[in-house]
């Protein structure tokens, strides 16, 4: 597969041109990070991300053919950027098809979904996760029931979620098609699913639009992401560049574009075979870890989510023990430690993780469980709350106050209360459990 962005940048770096253009480092190597030569702006021949018709468009077409989509668009600002564009597109869909100005979403959504929907004035109705607030493998049946008699613009799911839980996308897609609602999928954690021996990518399983953080699971620089449109969503794909330009910087990073471009060549060549060899090593590691007395969560092939309380550790304690043994996880909370693996770690990495976990002395089981999440009351429309005068207060003082915008740590950035919701006793319990110290709330009318 050709790599037109890489080729252009290589040629320009060697050209010796006097760079009388941005950026200010002028491509002088070494001053910052060594990659300055390739960090350019939209000079002639370099194309322009939101009006792409040259090397960027060609590279995006390559990505589209790899992912089997109608169209794939690059972002250099992560899935967060793509989620905003995806919701704007859903808004256009609702207006063009006389649907409700509302989205049905599973509650374990990333905070970008919450704030973007609020800013766009899209109402959200929630389906609550079956498990914890972090993982929401809501089933097709629950979504079907929630769609009954309604004309939501879209259904929004996060699959895989932060813990590696996955939805039955094919079944949810069938329910959405029957109803006429779009199926939008936050696939930030699952770009690689396309390249497994069995294709598990959301677009292949029936999602209409989805975002992938290429940088989370593929060899791509941080910020690199895809916004994919399935074949059935051709009319909406026509709005994608405009949608992305509404929310993105006018200076997208060519370093990130280069990495997305070079990833195409890797994905077209050895990556699939590497994954096919690597996933069984992760499977074997999961078996070893489970037989050492750890509970595991989720079924994402490259993620190992360990629930260590039965073995006497909180997730955070386990993360610290691993750090002491030279292993850094992606996320830990009281119940989980999330390890993200990839062929780029090398084939010894799963074994190294096993050895670290198995070597930890068993301790008395920790019995404390996370609070069950109860539905929250919407006291103000989300947009009104987000735009209202607000203040930040210690979470324990937020009882009875209306959330203006969610303050949550990243990762996993899943809000306890969302814009316009009333902070209730259950929210205080969750803040306390997850260590969320402050809340941004709407000012009281004195």
Ligand X SMILES: Cc1ncc(COP(=O)(O)O)c(C=O)c1O
**Chain positions contacting ligand X, by CB under 6 A:** 78-80, 110, 112, 158, 162, 186, 188-189, 213, 225, 411-413
Give least dist CB 80 to ligand X, A: 3
> Closer CB to ligand X, residue 240 or residue 428?
240
Name residues whose C-beta falls within 8 Å of residue 269's C-beta, 6 or more positions apart in sequence.
1
Give least dist CB 96 to ligand X, A: 26
> Closer CB to ligand X, residue 9 or residue 185?
185
Nearest residue to ligand X by CB is: 78
Q: Is 397 helix (H, G, I), strand (E, B) or coil?
A: helix
Name residues whose C-beta falls within 8 Å of residue 361's C-beta, 6 or more positions apart in sequence.
none
Phi, psi of 212 (to 5 degrees): -125, 130
Cα–Cα separations (whole angstroms), residue 271 to 64, 162, 193, 263: 16, 23, 12, 9
Give least dist CB 45 to ligand X, A: 28
> Closer CB to ligand X, residue 319 or residue 354?
319
> Closer CB to ligand X, residue 110 or residue 228?
110
135 with 108: CB under 8 angstroms? yes
Give least dist CB 365 to ligand X, A: 29
Nearest to 128, CA basis, from 109, 144, 110 = 109
73 with 53: CB under 8 angstroms? no
Cα–Cα separations (whole angstroms), residue 12 to 19, 23, 98: 10, 14, 49
> Closer CB to ligand X, residue 387 or residue 413?
413
Give least dist CB 412 to ligand X, A: 6
Query: How far apart are the C-alpha atoms of 81 and 262, rounded to whole Å?
Result: 21
Reported in sequence order, the residue ranges of 147-192 that DSSP labels E, i.e. its strands, are: 154-158, 182-186
Query: How far apart are the C-alpha atoms of 314 and 307, rounded to whole Å?
Result: 8
Give least dist CB 260 to ligand X, A: 13
> Closer CB to ligand X, residue 159 or residue 179?
159
> Closer CB to ligand X, residue 79 or residue 423?
79
Residue identified by tokens 């198995």 is 358
Give least dist CB 411 to ligand X, A: 5
Phi/psi region, residue 374 (left: phi>0; alpha: psi -120 to 50; beta: rest), is beta
């Amino acid at each position: 597969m050709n790599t037109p962005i890489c080729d252009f940048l290589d040629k320009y770096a060697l050209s010796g041109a006097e760079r009388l253009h941005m950026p200010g480092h002028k491509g002088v190597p070494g001053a910052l990070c060594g990659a300055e030569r390739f960090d350019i702006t939209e000079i002639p021949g370099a194309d322009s991300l939101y009006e792409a018709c040259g090397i960027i468009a060609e590279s995006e077409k390559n990505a589209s053919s790899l992912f089997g989509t109608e169209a794939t668009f690059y972002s250099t600002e992560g899935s967060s950027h793509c989620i905003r564009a995806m919701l704007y597109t859903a808004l256009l869909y609702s207006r063009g098809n006389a649907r409700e100005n509302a989205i049905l979403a599973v509650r374990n959504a990333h905070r970008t979904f919450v704030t973007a929907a609020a800013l766009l004035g899209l109402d959200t109705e929630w389906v609550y996760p079956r498990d914890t607030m972090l993982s929401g493998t809501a089933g097709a049946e629950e979504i079907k029931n929630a769609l009954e008699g309604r004309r939501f613009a879209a259904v929004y799911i996060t699959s895989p979620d932060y813990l590696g839980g996955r939805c039955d996308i094919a079944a949810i897609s069938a329910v959405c098609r029957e109803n006429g609602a779009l199926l939008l999928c936050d696939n930030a954690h699952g770009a690689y699913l396309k390249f497994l021996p069995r294709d598990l990518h959301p677009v292949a399983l029936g999602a209409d639009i989805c975002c992938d953080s290429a940088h989370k699971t593929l060899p791509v620089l941080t910020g690199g992401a895809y916004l994919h449109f399935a074949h059935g969503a051709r009319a909406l794909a026509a709005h994608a560049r405009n949608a992305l330009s509404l929310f993105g910087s006018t200076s997208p990073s060519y370093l990130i574009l280069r990495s997305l471009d070079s990833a195409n060549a890797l994905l077209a060549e050895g990556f699939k075979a590497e994954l096919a060899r690597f996933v069984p090593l992760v499977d074997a590691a999961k078996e070893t870890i489970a037989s050492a007395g750890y509970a595991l969560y989720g079924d994402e092939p490259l993620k190992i989510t360990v629930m260590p309380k039965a073995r006497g550790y909180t997730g955070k304690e386990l993360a610290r023990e691993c750090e002491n043994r030279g292993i850094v996880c992606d996320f830990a909370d009281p119940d989980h430690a999330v390890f993200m693996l990839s062929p780029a770690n090398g084939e010894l990495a799963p074994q190294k993780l096993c050895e670290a976990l198995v070597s930890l002395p068993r301790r008395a089981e920790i019995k404390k469980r996370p609070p069950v999440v109860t539905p929250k009351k919407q006291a103000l429309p989300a947009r009104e709350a987000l735009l209202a005068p607000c203040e930040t207060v210690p979470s324990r003082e937020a009882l009875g106050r209306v959330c203006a915008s969610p303050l949550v740590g990243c990762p996993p950035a899943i809000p306890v209360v969302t814009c316009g919701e009333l902070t209730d006793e259950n929210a205080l319990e969750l803040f306390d459990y997850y260590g969320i110290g402050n809340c941004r709330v709407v000012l009281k009318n004195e």
